[in-house]
Structures are given as C-alpha cells and as structure tokens.
Amino acid sequence: MISAGRLRFLATAKRENNIDDTGKKQKDFNSTVGTFRCDLRDTGSIEVGYADGVALSNQFDCLARWEAINSIGLQANDILLIRGRTFNIIGIRNESERDRLATIQVEEII
C-alpha cells in the first residue's frame, strides 16, 4: 500500500481517438479517461534514436493506488499528463498481485 502523503501529483490520463473523416486515421489525444493521484520516482535517463537524431528519454516509475487506475480503465497505449509534462506509458504492474499498488513505467522524451 502507498500512503496518502506520497500521492503528491494529479495525473490526467488521455486516450487516443482514431478519427476517420477522409479515409485516414489521425491521432488525437483529446479524450480524457480520468484522473488519479500519484507519485513520480526517477529511474534514470538514456539516449535513444528518435526520428533522424538522438533524443533524451527520461524514465520514471509512477506509483498509484491500484483501485484508482483500475476504476478509470488505464491502458498501456494511453498517455499521462503530470505537472504539465507528457509521459508515454511503457507498462503497468500490479505489485505482488495484491490489487493495492500499481507501478506504471513511463517515459518522457525530450
């Protein structure tokens, strides 16, 4: 379990909508899935190939209550907005399969 004092940040989950007006699929993340309280822990940074160059990928563990993310139906293809920063979800873990603590691995590409 994570104590309520550690849940310092408010995360907003956004889901991709596929809009098919002209036969093309466009990415649109305007659909808000829900919000939940979380804590961010820095797990390191790496350089990754991005487009035609190199980008810095900051990786974090986002800790939240399992009930909170389960109730909004968070998926791995959603994005998170936390304190004005956008994070891509890498994976979601149910720690010890106890349905109490969710560890969401996220990355921010700079």
Q: For the chain, give every domain's residue range.
A: 4-109
Q: Model-level pTM greater than 0.85?
A: no
- Report the half-sphere exposure of 22 (CA within 13 A, side-chain side): 1
The two three-digit tokens of residue 33, written as one number: 């899935």
Q: What is the distance between the alpha carbons of residues 65 and 27, in angstroms, rounded to a whole number?
A: 29
Please state, rounded to an integer, the average pLDDT across all residues of the chain: 87
Looking only at the bridges linking them, the beta strands covering 101-109 and 53-65 are antiparallel
Q: Which of 83, 80, 58 is nearest to 69 (CA)?
A: 80
Q: Which single residue is written with the structure tokens 């899935």?
A: 33
The two three-digit tokens of residue 4, written as one number: 């309520």
pLDDT digits (tens, 9 = 90+) for 40-87: 999 999 888 877 888 888 999 999 999 999 999 999 989 999 999 999
Class level of CATH domain 4-109? mainly beta
pLDDT score recorded for residue 22: 61
- Whether residue 68 contacts residue 48, with contact meaning beta carbons closer than 8 Å, is answered with no
- Whether residue 77 contacts residue 91, with contact meaning beta carbons closer than 8 Å, is answered with no
